[in-house]
């Protein structure tokens, strides 16, 4: 039975591999979530959900995540993935996913923050704190970048 998450962790990483799928798997493992069964969910951060460190979870654990990912097989291409996170003491928060080609890790993070601020404003909500997590990569052969919010009980 699903419950409302009480905590969340932010992780990010980038990696290479001999194929795009392997590059993605390598990035997930590097981020610390490669042995989990990731279940993508949408972008609502429950009220009172607090940022924490990623604990060690049993391999195969069904794990709800908000994930931004990008893969490329174009050598020399710059890729980045980011999440913007808006938390509020008075309401629920939001998470925005952003990924793009040709942008830096920093630009991706700032863009994701701008997106999540806008999402909150459109709902009439006021964030107490806005942050981001991002990963950037310059592709050698096959590359991937991921940014993930892991929801925890």
Q: Give the catalytic positions in this structure.
A: 37, 42-43, 97
CA separation, residue 107 to residues 55, 114, 119 (Å): 29, 11, 18
C-beta of residue 15 within 8 angstroms of C-beta of residue 143: yes
Query: Taken in order 34, 35, 36, 39, is the CA torsion positive or negative?
Result: positive
Q: How many residues does the chain have?
A: 153
Gap between the Cα atoms of 72 and 54, Å rounded: 27
CA separation, residue 22 to residues 61, 110, 146 (Å): 21, 28, 13
Residue 66: exposure state from Cβ atoms within 10 A (0-12, 13-18, ≥19): buried
Gap between the Cα atoms of 111 and 66, Å rounded: 17
């Amino acid at each position: 039975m699903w419950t409302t998450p009480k905590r969340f962790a932010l992780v990010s990483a980038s990696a290479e591999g001999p194929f795009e799928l392997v590059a993605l798997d390598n990035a997930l493992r590097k981020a610390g979530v490669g042995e989990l069964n990731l279940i993508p969910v949408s972008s609502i951060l429950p009220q009172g959900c607090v940022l924490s460190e990623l604990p060690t979870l049993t391999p195969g654990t069904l794990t709800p995540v908000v994930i931004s990912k990008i893969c490329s097989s174009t050598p020399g291409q710059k890729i980045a993935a980011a999440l913007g996170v808006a938390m509020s003491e008075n309401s629920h928060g939001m998470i925005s996913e952003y990924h793009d080609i040709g942008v830096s890790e920093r630009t991706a993070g700032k863009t994701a923050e701008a997106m999540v601020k806008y999402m909150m404003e459109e709902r009439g909500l006021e964030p107490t704190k806005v942050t981001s997590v991002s990963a950037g990569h310059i592709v050698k052969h096959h590359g991937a970048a991921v940014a993930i919010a892991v929801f925890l009980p």
